[in-house]
Structure 1
Amino acid sequence: MRQKGTDQNEHKEKKVQTVTSVLSIVKSSLEDRGYLKNILEAGPGNFVCLPVVLKINSVKSLLTEMSDVLKLAGNMQKLGAPVKGANTNPKNIDDTLKTMQILFGGEEILFEDEKYAIIGNIVDAHLYQAILGQSV
């Protein structure tokens, strides 16, 4: 963005760096210095950069889905629809999910390949202007 001052020959420039542009600069710098390696050749002090599609821990996702289905079955039962298992209380599953959240301190994420796996945690407090569902 250019702003004209009182003098016609005077110009001020203001540059704004986005997160993407800063990461691009950092990546280029790491490549130039030889720190960026292939994941299979990486060692201590090296960085890796590869495209991955991270998924939420499947066990936790399965428990969440089971809890949601049990709640839905309970609601359908209240409307008069006969549903097997509708009397099962999802509280035990919800308690297990809360315990997992406390133990892991966030969402456990995973990427698996034939040669390696990438595992990490995403903590809501560390997400900048994002919603977890949009990130993973």
Structure 2
Amino acid sequence: MIDYEKLKEIRNMGYIKHTGIRTVELREGYAKCEIILDERHANPIGSTHGGVLFTLVDTVGGAAATSRGRYVTTVSGNINYLRPAMNCKKLIGESREIKVGKKMCVYDVMITDENDREIAKATMTFFYLDKIKATAFMSK
């Protein structure tokens, strides 16, 4: 059985902690992450840097994929930037399952701002790392 609260804590560590992204909701096949934006997230024209958006997409997709109790690594990501994330205070990423296979899984990710404007849409593919036991977030 998966301890989703413990998994959320694990997902908010390491590199992700430095970005400001937080996993706020997690259940099987679904994840929601948020980032409060500040000047470190901006590009030279004042929009949120595309790398920040892709990091959010990869993070929320990976969280949803990991919600099935298996560690994953990103195989590919296809992102469409729909509009600039300008004058935003917060971005929200939501990921939903498209396909779960034996070795790979695919997730649909939508990024919106605090006013529910669609900022980016992505499809992320992850590979299961079965040789690494996902015991860190499993209930006993």
Q: TM (normalized to structure 2)?
A: 0.30
- Indicate the structure with greater strand content: 2
Could you say which structure has the higher helix fraction? 1
Q: Which has the higher contact order (CA 8 A, sep 6+)?
A: 2
Larger Rg: 1
